[in-house]
Structure 1
Amino acid sequence: MSQELKKITTFIEKHHVMSLATCNGKQVSACSLFYAYDAEKFSFVVASSEDTLHVKHILQNPKIAGNILLETQEVGKIEGLQFQGEMQELQESSLKKLYFKHFPYALAMMPKLWQIKVSYFKLTENKLGFGKKTIYEPVFL
């Protein structure tokens, strides 16, 4: 694993809520979601109902953008991750297990699970210098 990817993965693993943006060509939507992350598959796993606007959007247009951030008022401590990718209904049982390992109480609700396959990461870390960015784009074979 590259140094860039290690930094990104470490940041992702320190958090558990993302903001997700979707669009169907006419409307936009933003929401917050709990997530589990699989670094080998560059994939987030989230739970969401088909009744939500963001899921209705991805059924028409699977492209998404999102972010995870450390909330702080100290400029020198700002950290945040922006990402882009595609969201689809979860098919892999290993990712399903990963989600319920992180959120075992969700089993009682048996939520619909979705996979976000990431194609672009940009990590901002002001603690390394104002506006210091790490960009990583996974290569899928």
Structure 2
Amino acid sequence: MIDERIAKFLAEHHVLTLATEDEKGPYCCNLFYVYLPQRNWFVATSAADTLHVRQATRNPRVAASVVLETSVVGKVRGLQLRGTMARPEGEERRVARNAYLRRFPFAAVMDLELWIIRPVFFKYTDNRLGFGKKIIWENDTNS
């Protein structure tokens, strides 16, 4: 089960930095996301011809981060994660599309190329709980 503080943090934000890699090296980009805590999915949309999608298609192991931008050390919060990224099919696609459009209704006019990131590791930092306080979650059965 995902710690409710992690799920709450993810619900308060909507952009993640995604890291992918291929034989030429690593790459990162920023994506709008919606997090579904009941399924432990991030849903994002991105075109198949983008570098990060081409890389994730060849190597689905990805990393990502979500961060609260602040210069106040006592308010620092952020999440780093590892997981896999894949295109949803069938019922998963329907669930992912509905969730994404609830969060971003303006996307209804777009051709949505949806992707699901399934985390296997979270490291959540929340300095409000104490300087450098980390909450770790790991589930290697999803990989």
Please give the TM-score of this superposition, normalised by the length of structure 1: 0.93
C-alpha deviation, 1:140, in angstroms: 4.5
2:72 equivalent in structure 1: 74
CA distance in 2, matches of 1:25, 1:126: 37
Residue 139 of structure 1: how far off its partner (Å)? 6.3
Alignment match of 1:20 (pick from 8, 18, 21): 18
- What is the alpha-carbon distance in structure 2 between the residues aligned to residue 138 and residue 10 of structure 1? 19
Residue aligned with 1:22, SS: strand
Paired residues for 1:122-133 under 5 Å: 122-133=123-134
List per-residue Cα deviations over 1:54-90 (Å, max 9, x = no partner).
Answer: 0010111000000000000011110000011000012
TM-aligned CA deviation for residue 25 of structure 1 = 3.1
Give 1:11's aligned amino acid.
Answer: F
SS in 1 for 2:3: helix
User: Structure 1: any 5+ residue segments left out of the alignment?
Assistant: none
CA distance in 1: counterparts of 2:140 and 2:6, whole angstroms = 15
Opposite residue 35 of structure 1, the aligned amino acid is Y
Q: 1:139 to 1:53 in 2, by over 3 A?
A: closer
1:5 aligns with 2:6: no
Identity of aligned residues (%): 42
2:96–2:114 contact (8 Å) kept in structure 1 = no
Give matches, 1:28-43, under 5 Å: 28-43=26-41
Aligned pairs, number: 139
CA root-mean-square deviation:
1.4
State the match for 2:48 in structure 1: 50
Deviation (angstroms), 1:125: 0.6
Taking the aligned partners of 1:19 and 1:139, their CA distance within structure 2 comes to 22
Deviations, residues 17-69 of structure 1 (Å, cap 9, x unaligned): 10000001322110000001111211000000011110010111000000000
Q: Which residue identity is paired with 2:52?
A: H
- Provide the C-alpha distance between the structure 2 equivalents of 1:125 and 1:69, rounded to a whole number of angstroms: 10
Secondary structure of the residue aligned to 2:99 is helix
Unmatched 5+ residue regions in structure 2? none
> Which amino acid in structure 2 is aligned with residue 69 of structure 1?
V
